[in-house]
Amino acid sequence: MPKHGWRLFLAAVLCVLSATFAVAEDAPHAGFVGSASCAECHAAEATAWAGSDHAWALKAPDASSVLGDFNDASITNKTVTTRFTTKDGKYFVETEGADGKPATFEVRYTVGHRPLQQYLVETEKGRLQVLDLAWDVAQKKWFHLYPDQDAPPGDGLHWTGSYKNWQARCATCHQTGFDKGFDFPTRTYKSHWTELTVGCEACHGPGEAHNAWAKAQSGEDPYKTLPLGPGHQAQELDVCGPCHSRREAFSQLQPKAGAPFHENYALALLTPDLYFPDGQQRDEVFILGSFLQSKMKAKGVTCSNCHEPHGGGLVAEGNAVCTQCHNPAGNDKFPSLRKAEFDSREHHHHQPGSDAAKCVSCHMPERSYMLIDPRRDHFFRRPDPLQSKAAGAPDVCTGCHADKTAEWAAGQIASWKPAGEKNWQDRSAFIAFNSGDRTEKTLADLTRYVLDTEHPAVVRATALSALGGGGTLSASDAGQLLKDADPLVRAAATGALRQIAIQDRIALLMPLLTDPSRSVRQRTAVEIAGAGVAMLPAADDAAYRQGLQDFMDAHMANADMPESHVAIGGLALSRRQWDEAQKAFTTATELDPQMASAWLVLAQLAEARGNPQGAEAALASGLAASPHNADILLARGDMAARQQKFDNALDWYRRAQAADPKRPDVWVASAIGYALKGDRVAAAAAAGRARELAPGMALPPELEQFLAQPQ
């Protein structure tokens, strides 16, 4: 760099940092000073940060930040043509609005810089929405993120809908000191932040006290209370985890950096919509849930062992990231490591230097999101072709060797490593359970998994949630789980005790009303409420009511999300507050007319309260929004069956089969419908189809008896 070049470059960085720092008049956090202030002393870190994904997380649009073509470019998806233009230095998008008519929106912010860039527009004062159209940075072209999705105006998934709202879904992880500022009665936003993008204080916390210490050069640095780096796994996961995970926040206000995760968030478990049954990532889960399953996590590895936190890159190139530990000399920080030469043909059995010889190719397979954004799975699992096949999950071996079978791949691995130990990643019980096998053996296997503390806590918690009240837990086992070291297990265990007598269940749950983690306290209070308890002994009642209030506060903080109202409605149902439940589920359908679960509950509520016309109206409204939703079609058939309109019921079931022919419960419903009509042949055919789809599935006893009767 030429003479004075470093100073000039730093000055430019400081200028950019200063421009992005804007404390709102009623800033949500005190003590923030902005990244420009940090850069005065930490120049190298600021320089690395300036080109990072964090620095590009959100920017004001200008010639340096807008990467897309706004020179009267256009793109057509289905019947909608969108144009991108500039005028007087501003950027505009003309596209289909919320009313289905063409409208022009000004770009307020850019999001990201690789491999794509997205754009935010303001659809009404204060409300920012994310466009479904993005700029492919490498190919230099516009593309639609969801080209096959049918989401017309009014649909929650339309770009103007609730699921594409920036403040509700994205902002807190793209900004610093963010306060959503959502007002539920008026459905409006007045959001604030201390820095537009992800700045220094998003990860290190407010810097005012640290600045004062640095200037005074005396006393103790207040930042010593937030240790980061190798050896501080728990602290790093609390800093990095909130944004690199699927979770629900408990507040509209972004917690300060390093705040305990489970006091501020509920982590999404390994549910089938997010993960494959063998634990691999399925949906966009942002790493943490995968990492928590790994042996790396269990052995103390943390984010900064592999990632340079300021620039965001890896700490070494290629396989060297892994061989800093996995080598013949080992690594003193991780004494249990097997010392061996891993970056060798003897280990990976592929051509050295090829993509197949990269550690990540086999142990961190990629899955692309937003069409062109590949993310590596942080499970770090060993390839297990047979388990992946059973789970219906991708397999890294046959993913490359497409002409081979999983059995061939498993044979190859066994010939190379006959003594390979994979108990820690065994998910056979999950795979069986998720395939519909609810036999005593499967339930017992899953229960044994839960009780084995050698297994990852996030997997045990997922198993507990899957079992619900249908497990084989004894009161003694339940008591142990409620004292588990991990809050994920304790929280999940609160909902897995329903097979235990109410009095014993309440006695087991009450100590968790004062658990260190708010996620556990909330779940405990909700479970106690669901057991029909109106009031606890005075010593516990205040904690119980605080837990319920925390639950309500958390979901009202996310009142711009339809799923929050479903949760509120669920609590109201458990407390037999029918009017409150109806109100909550109605709000959910207003925010997302395609939310089938809410329409189904509204129908059940109406029917239970002696209003069959209201029930039919709810299902009709749900079908108007989602004509091919199998759940609503199935419910419509069930209602007709209860009214003894069997031909009508079967017609609805046939429509449900057409909507989703691979759902075994639809075929079971048809079998029951035929049985009620006395048609044994048709009932047996439908039941047979259900068993083909779910071999371990148990049919209702009455149906079994009907099918067993002699002709």
Across 219-228, 313-322, 413-422, the highest mean pLDDT is recorded for 313-322
Q: What is the pLDDT of residues 341-361, one digit of tens each?
A: 999 999 999 999 999 999 999
Q: Taking 80 as the threshold, does the pLDDT of residue 711 lie above it? A: no
Q: Which two tokens stand for residue 285?
A: 């889960």
Angle (nearest 5°) at CA 438 between 433 and 441: 90
Q: What is the pLDDT of residue 535?
A: 80
- Mean pLDDT, the chain, whole residue set: 92
Amino acid 524 reads: T
| Greater pLDDT, 22 or 363 | 363
Q: What is the pLDDT of residues 480-489, one digit of tens each?
A: 999 999 999 9
The answer to whether 367 and 354 have CB atoms below 8 angstroms apart is: no
- Ramachandran region, residue 187 (left: φ > 0; alpha: ψ -120 to 50; beta: rest): left
Q: What is the pLDDT of residue 7?
A: 33
Q: Which 3 state secondary structure label does DSSP give 291? A: helix
What share of the chain has pLDDT > 70, as a percent?
Answer: 95
Mean pLDDT of 395-424: 92
Q: What is the pLDDT of residues 90-111, one digit of tens each?
A: 999 999 999 999 999 999 999 9
| Greater pLDDT, 138 or 496 | 138
Q: Taking 50 as the threshold, does the pLDDT of residue 637 lie above it? A: yes
Q: What is the pLDDT of residues 300-345, one digit of tens each?
A: 999 999 999 999 999 999 999 999 999 999 999 999 999 999 999 9
**For the chain, domain boundaries:** 1-53+189-225, 73-174, 264-382, 426-560
Q: What is the pLDDT of residue 114?
A: 96
Nearest to 545, CA basis, from 522, 515, 565: 522
Tell me how far apart the alpha carbons of residues 199 and 205 are, in angstroms, rounded to a whole number. Answer: 10
What share of the chain has pLDDT > 90, as a percent?
Answer: 85
Calculate the alpha carbon distances from 513 to 180, 518, 519, 550 in Å. Answer: 28, 9, 10, 11
Q: What is the pLDDT of residue 586?
A: 98
Q: Taking 50 as the threshold, does the pLDDT of residue 14 lie above it? A: no
Nearest to 406, CA basis, from 415, 397, 414: 397
Q: Taking 50 as the threshold, does the pLDDT of residue 52 lie above it? A: yes
pLDDT class of 28 with cuts at 50, 70, 90: low
Q: What is the pLDDT of residue 21?
A: 37
Q: What is the pLDDT of residue 607?
A: 96
DSSP 15-60: HHHHHHB---TT-SSSS---HHHHHTT-HHHHHHHHTSTTTTSSB-
pTM equals: 0.92
pLDDT class of 265 with cuts at 50, 70, 90: very high
| Start-to-end C-alpha separation, the chain | 92
Farthest-apart Cα atoms in the chain, separation: 98
Tell me how far apart the alpha carbons of residues 348 and 124 are, in angstroms, rounded to a whole number. Answer: 55
Q: Taking 60 as the threshold, does the pLDDT of residue 18 lie above it? A: no
Q: What is the pLDDT of residues 128-183, one digit of tens each?
A: 999 999 999 999 999 999 999 989 999 999 999 999 999 999 999 999 999 999 99
Q: What is the pLDDT of residue 248?
A: 97
**Omega into 185 within 30° of 0, i.e. cis?**
no
Mean pLDDT of 389-413: 97
Q: What is the pLDDT of residue 2?
A: 37
User: For residue 215, with 0-12 CB atoms within 10 Å meaning exposed, 13-18 middle and 19 or more buried, which class applies?
Assistant: exposed
Which neighbouring-strand residues pair with 72? none
Tell me how far apart the alpha carbons of residues 528 and 672 are, in angstroms, rounded to a whole number. Answer: 36
Q: DSSP character for 576?
A: T
Q: What is the pLDDT of residues 554-586, one digit of tens each?
A: 999 999 999 999 999 999 999 999 999 999 999
Q: What is the pLDDT of residues 437-477, one digit of tens each?
A: 888 899 999 999 999 999 999 999 999 999 887 667 888 99
Mean pLDDT of 646-650: 95
Angle (nearest 5°) at CA 588 between 586 and 590: 70
Calculate the alpha carbon distances from 104 to 65, 85, 127, 145 in Å. Answer: 21, 10, 15, 20
Q: Taking 80 as the threshold, does the pLDDT of residue 228 lie above it? A: no
Q: What is the pLDDT of residue 224?
A: 65
